[in-house]
Amino acid sequence: MKFKRIVWSVIMLFFIFPQGFVSAETNSNDKPAEQVVEENYHTVLETWEKEGKKGASDFEASVSPSDFQIKDKKNLLSAAESKGYEDRVFYWHNQESVSYEIDVKEAGLYELSFDYYPLSNEVVPIEGAIQVNDKYPFYESRRIVFPADWQNDRNKFKKDRFGNDMIPKQKRVEKWNRLTAEDASQLQSEPLKFELKKGKNKITLANLSGEMLLGNAYVHFPSKLPSYKEYLADHKDQKQVNTLITRDAEKNYTKNSSYIRPFAANDSSAIPSNPKTLLLNTLGGDSWTKSGQTVNWKVNVKKDGFYNLTFKVLQNKETGGPVFRKLLIDGKVPFSEAAPITFDFNKNWTNVTLEDNKGKPFLFYLKKGEHEIGLEADASPVEPVLHTTNEIMREMEELTLEIRKLTGNQTDRSRGWKISEYIPGIDKKLSGWADRLDQELKYLRSLDHSREDSQDIVSLEMAAQKLRNLSKKPDQIPSRLTELSEGSSSAAQMLGNMLVTLPEQPLTVDQFYLHGGDKELPDAEAGFWEKLIDSVKRFFLSFFSENYSAKEADEKTLEVWVNRPRQYVELLQNLSDQNFTPETGIKVKFSIMPEEQKLILASASNKQPDIALGISSWLPYELSIRGAAVDLHQFDDFEAFSKHFSPGAFLPLMIGDSVYAMPETQDFFVQFYRKDIMQALDLPVPDTWDDVKSILPELQRFGMNYYTHIAGATGFKPFQATAPFVYQFDGDLYGKNGMKTAIGSEESLKGIQFMAELNTIYSLPLQVPNFYNHFRYSTLPIGTANFTTYTQLTAAAPEIAGWWDIAPHPGVKKEDGTVERWATGSGQSAMIFKGTKSKEDSWELLKWWLSTETQTEFATNLQMLYGPEYMWNTSNLEAFKNLPWPDKHKETILKQWEYLYEVPKNPGSYMIERELSNIWNRIVFDGVNPRSAVDDSVVAIDREIKRKMEEFGYVKDGKMVKPYPIPTIEQVKNWGDEDNDGNEDENENN
């Protein structure tokens, strides 16, 4: 029986894979995805250590910009243009590269340093890449970050209309810096080392983004920090100073991230504190989480001598683990034991005195005068865990792919597989992973001094346990892939979550103290009675607080509900108070919207605001068809103002030629691709769907694939996933007069059929829970995605920053050579309610808010104050050009927006969306003929549209009373044209 089962399994496999299949012995030409590019620095460093390669002996050389090998000599600036460098400098920008030669007498490991002066006044980082002798020595050399220093534009905080402190604007500190090349993720405890051969070596620094002045380049032997014992010996004649110097953390500091910001701790233990208003009384928290982020505080000391150093901190990391900091004094780590310093998890404020492992406080020598005390977030202690986990996850991905190839992706639990016979040693592989994770568990626990395990430790422990359980019954793995690598409770998902949270290093600092002798420190926590009295005050004052709550404004004040978090509303209110109200005399009160759905209830009860901002694009239509919204097309200057926006963005906000909302933000679907992977495989970036099909064999040969947003949807496929295929093949969703659907036309059918064939014939993934993670780990190095993915990759994928790019959405090539790239792009919208106090004043506010100037200022301030993840995808095309994003990316997005075609609404459009999803499911999963699947849905859609049209008065007794014209892009483009008589063809598609 056993023999028969094996034979039958082999026969089935040859039916599934007629060209053969990959077993445990893979094709020698195939490589895993991560080996397509260079090895990472961790692996290279281990290899150097095994080979006995060491840092070079005492050596340092510098190269002046005058000796650089450069293409464009006009970028070599004179000493007079050097911003105080007093020598010639190189203007490094716009993808320029500079090279220089260095002659070393001894082969070995060296460090590279650069003098630089940041010129980018934006949030876009200054990034470069380093090649040695025309090769990237390791993957991390593909991205080197040159940070700029920032400070508040004022030390005294301004107050808002409610008496709360406002976060000040940021300005760049203009000065020359020196950087020793480091890992951009800041996961290495020391600067990067580069192997140089004896004799001449060519070093190339290429620009990836940003601009700066480049001074001398240096090559030198690796530096080494003294030990604490050596540090004390260097200052053996000094004495400890008997003093207590207190510094507030939220004032008088510089930082290397503009968005490390002061925070209002609503807590009586924070100093200062006020139960009525919000005071910016601490620094950091969630804005100070990324490794490498540094804060430097200025402090004056009156005597030479030794000082102890204590920080009053709140370390309440969500996962409960420790965080780490490097101590910097005047920009340098004083001794090796000061990097890193551990701050253990504690829900309460605590005084952490910097001390050795025996609990004896460190002594720090300071001369009389001004000094800088700095803390740098440091995730390097957990780098070994991250490295091992990443390796195991990649191996798990390969094993999962191998199992899918063997089983034909069949996961039927009733079907048996002798998987251990096709993949010998699979049980040992799984148990080996568990053993490696156990080793990392022991290491993590050695870093954590708290009593309870952190969530990261628990995730690691559970993942190891799952792998060990699977290793005991390997033949069940095909039906238990949800435990291995798929689903929210799989081992891979647990490890993936840990990879995100473990490197985070949040820390909130209230004060720090330089002290010594018999001086006592203030208590970190307020006393019991002080806390009790403070909490009672806060409770009663909360009944009278008006901080951005949705309460009715007075008759002379416009009331605006905003469907966004507090920081957005605060910034918007402050902009309005500073600019709009003084210019127009119109008072405005912005409030945080309780829930978007409550707008419908508020409208029904006549308690609606004047204006709503940040609402979903479907909501204005639902309100307008029920008579609750103002038609913006009635204003004389509407058509001129509409030219600032993409025509296709208006379509879901219209009924006929009436417009009931303005597009406020705008999504985009573009093609994301890994430059490093595509270059390594020598693959072109696709321009059309035919191009996509042509690169699939090579991608799939390496265990990779192409992602579409169909795979990102779950069981239900929204218009964002399905409608673009209909429009790109010249199809349409609506028929004449909007009374029927047009998905049954030949053009629409072609689009629907191709959409399904991508999965049934070309084997694109059916479901991908998280494209962002697959893109980072190289398994899906290319695909179409939207603004959310762009934000994630910009803010939370430092390891591949500079090595991914975007291109326009693939489309269908027409006979004239043009490519139809139609894609959706609805974001949030802004509308005026019919119950407004003043239509004209409301329209003036809407125009001010959506104007180029306001949108530009809002977007820049938001990102500068709160970080790169707070990207504002404004719908104003002119404002979008001014955003602090890479220019090349903005050009691509603007090009794609020329093909923005958001789906218009009619009362039954939800049924078209649902049935398009059902059609895809029936074709892909049930094998139904496309024509048959579409015809069945057309009947259901037409019936529902007719029923809804009757409900809203367009049909009576089965007959059309009045047509329902579907808005078109051509119709919107004709607004404001002198020859537009209003009688354009309502059914023209594009």
Helix (H, G, I), strand (E, B) or coil at 380: helix
* pLDDT given for residue 543 in this prediction: 67
Would you say residue 330 has pLDDT above 90? yes
Would you say residue 778 has pLDDT above 90? no
* pLDDT given for residue 5 in this prediction: 38
Element (H, E) at 907: none
| Rounded Cα–Cα distance for residues 628 and 651 (Å) | 18
Which DSSP category does 328 fall into? E
For residue 549, give both structure tokens.
Answer: 């709550």
* pLDDT given for residue 301 in this prediction: 96
Q: Which tens digit of pLDDT belongs to each residue from 763-773?
A: 999 888 789 98
For residue 625, give both structure tokens.
Answer: 């068809």
| Rounded Cα–Cα distance for residues 449 and 441 (Å) | 14
Would you say residue 983 has pLDDT above 50? no
Q: Which tens digit of pLDDT belongs to each residue from 675-685?
A: 988 988 899 99
Kindly report the three-state secondary structure assignment for every residue of 290-335.
CCCCEEEEEEEECCCEEEEEEEEEEECCCCCCCEEEEEEECCECCC
Would you say residue 986 has pLDDT above 50? no
| Rounded Cα–Cα distance for residues 398 and 702 (Å) | 10
For residue 411, give both structure tokens.
Answer: 């996961």
List Cβ neighbours of 786 (8 Å cut-off, separation of 6 or more).
667, 668, 669, 670, 709, 720
Q: What is the dihedral of CA 380, 381, 386, 387, to 10 degrees?
A: 80
At residue 24 the predicted structure's pLDDT band, cuts being 50, 70 and 90, is: very low
Would you say residue 788 has pLDDT above 60? yes
| Rounded Cα–Cα distance for residues 842 and 588 (Å) | 10
Would you say residue 945 has pLDDT above 70? yes
* pLDDT given for residue 25 in this prediction: 33
Cα 466 from chain centroid? 30
* pLDDT given for residue 556 in this prediction: 87
Entry pTM? 0.84
Per DSSP, helices labelled H in 491-614 are 491-501, 528-541, 566-575, 581-584, 598-604
- DSSP β-bridge partners for residue 116: 177, 214
At residue 9 the predicted structure's pLDDT band, cuts being 50, 70 and 90, is: very low
Burial (CB < 10 A; 0-12, 13-18, 19+), residue 638, is: middle
Residue in the block written with tokens 């024509």: 931
* pLDDT given for residue 23 in this prediction: 31
For residue 757, give both structure tokens.
Answer: 């064939």
* pLDDT given for residue 943 in this prediction: 95
Nearest to 143 by CA among 161, 130, 162: 130
* pLDDT given for residue 670 in this prediction: 98
Residue 723: CB atoms within 10 Å: 26
Cα 612 from chain centroid? 27
* pLDDT given for residue 6 in this prediction: 36
| Rounded Cα–Cα distance for residues 554 and 541 (Å) | 22
Highest mean pLDDT among 121-130, 729-738, 971-980: 729-738
Element (H, E) at 747: helix 746-760
* pLDDT given for residue 553 in this prediction: 65
* pLDDT given for residue 939 in this prediction: 96
Average pLDDT taken over every residue of the chain: 89
* pLDDT given for residue 415 in this prediction: 64
Q: Which tens digit of pLDDT belongs to each residue from 828-878?
A: 999 999 999 999 999 999 999 999 999 999 999 999 999 888 999 999 999
Helix (H, G, I), strand (E, B) or coil at 246: strand
For residue 809, give both structure tokens.
Answer: 């959405």
Would you say residue 821 has pLDDT above 50? yes
User: What sign does the dihedral 151-152-153-155 (CA atoms) show?
Assistant: negative
For residue 901, give both structure tokens.
Answer: 């075609």
Q: Which tens digit of pLDDT belongs to each residue from 214-245?
A: 999 999 999 899 999 999 999 998 999 999 99
Mean pLDDT of 357-379: 96
At residue 803 the predicted structure's pLDDT band, cuts being 50, 70 and 90, is: confident
Question: What are the backbone dihedrals phi and psi of residue 563, each rounded to the nearest 5 degrees, phi first?
Answer: -90, 60
Q: Which tens digit of pLDDT belongs to each residue from 589-636?
A: 999 998 888 888 888 888 899 999 999 999 999 999 999 999 999 999
**First CA to last CA distance, the chain:** 64
Mean pLDDT of 566-576: 94
Angle at 18 between CA 15 and CA 22, to 5 degrees: 105
Are 291 and 186 a contacting pair, CB within 8 Å?
A: yes
Are 881 and 890 a contacting pair, CB within 8 Å?
A: yes
Are 243 and 255 a contacting pair, CB within 8 Å?
A: no
Q: Which tens digit of pLDDT belongs to each residue from 482-494?
A: 888 776 688 988 8
Pairing of strands 706-707, 782-785: parallel
DSSP-assigned letters across all residues of 843-869: HHHHHHHTSHHHHHHHHHHHHHHH-TT
- DSSP β-bridge partners for residue 129: 206
* pLDDT given for residue 165 in this prediction: 92
- DSSP β-bridge partners for residue 108: 196
- Amino acid identity of residue 606, one-letter, is N
Pairing of strands 557-562, 587-592: parallel
* pLDDT given for residue 850 in this prediction: 98
Would you say residue 784 has pLDDT above 90? yes
Are 459 and 498 a contacting pair, CB within 8 Å?
A: yes
* pLDDT given for residue 367 in this prediction: 96
b/e map 251-276, b = 16+ CB within 10 Å = bebbbbbbbbbbbbbebbbbbebbbe
For residue 706, give both structure tokens.
Answer: 């192409």
* pLDDT given for residue 701 in this prediction: 83
- Amino acid identity of residue 649, one-letter, is A
Q: What is the largest CA-CA distance in the chain?
A: 103
Q: Which tens digit of pLDDT belongs to each residue from 548-569?
A: 776 666 788 999 999 999 999 9
- Amino acid identity of residue 623, one-letter, is L
At residue 981 the predicted structure's pLDDT band, cuts being 50, 70 and 90, is: very low
Residue 893: CB atoms within 10 Å: 22
Would you say residue 121 has pLDDT above 80? no
b/e map 679-717, b = 16+ CB within 10 Å = ebbebebbbbbebbbebbeebeebbbbbbbbbbbbeeeb
DSSP-assigned letters across all residues of 110-170: EEEEEEEEE---SSSPEEEEEEETTB-SSGGGG-EEE---EEES-SSPPB-TTS-B-PPPE
Angle at 579 between CA 577 and CA 582, to 5 degrees: 75
Would you say residue 481 has pLDDT above 70? yes
| Rounded Cα–Cα distance for residues 113 and 219 (Å) | 6
* pLDDT given for residue 487 in this prediction: 66
Mean pLDDT of 705-729: 93
User: What sign does the dihedral 69-74-75-80 (CA atoms) show?
Assistant: positive
Mean pLDDT of 697-716: 89
Helix (H, G, I), strand (E, B) or coil at 677: helix
Which of left, alpha, beta for 682 (phi over 0: left; psi -120 to 50: alpha)? Answer: left
* pLDDT given for residue 493 in this prediction: 83
| Rounded Cα–Cα distance for residues 429 and 398 (Å) | 12
Would you say residue 472 has pLDDT above 80? yes
Residue 145: CB atoms within 10 Å: 23
| Rounded Cα–Cα distance for residues 246 and 950 (Å) | 74
Mean pLDDT of 917-935: 95
Question: What are the backbone dihedrals phi and psi of residue 394, each rounded to the nearest 5 degrees, phi first?
Answer: -70, -40
Of 30-44, 663-677, 849-863, the one with minimum mean pLDDT is 30-44
Order of strands, sheet of 341-343, starting from the edge strand that comes earlier in the sequence: 170-172, 150-152, 253-255, 294-301, 369-377, 323-329, 341-343
Per DSSP, helices labelled H in 506-649 are 528-541, 566-575, 581-584, 598-604, 619-624, 638-641
At residue 412 the predicted structure's pLDDT band, cuts being 50, 70 and 90, is: low
Residue 330: CB atoms within 10 Å: 13
At residue 414 the predicted structure's pLDDT band, cuts being 50, 70 and 90, is: low
Per DSSP, helices labelled H in 777-899 are 787-796, 839-849, 852-866, 877-881, 887-897
Residue 557: CB atoms within 10 Å: 16
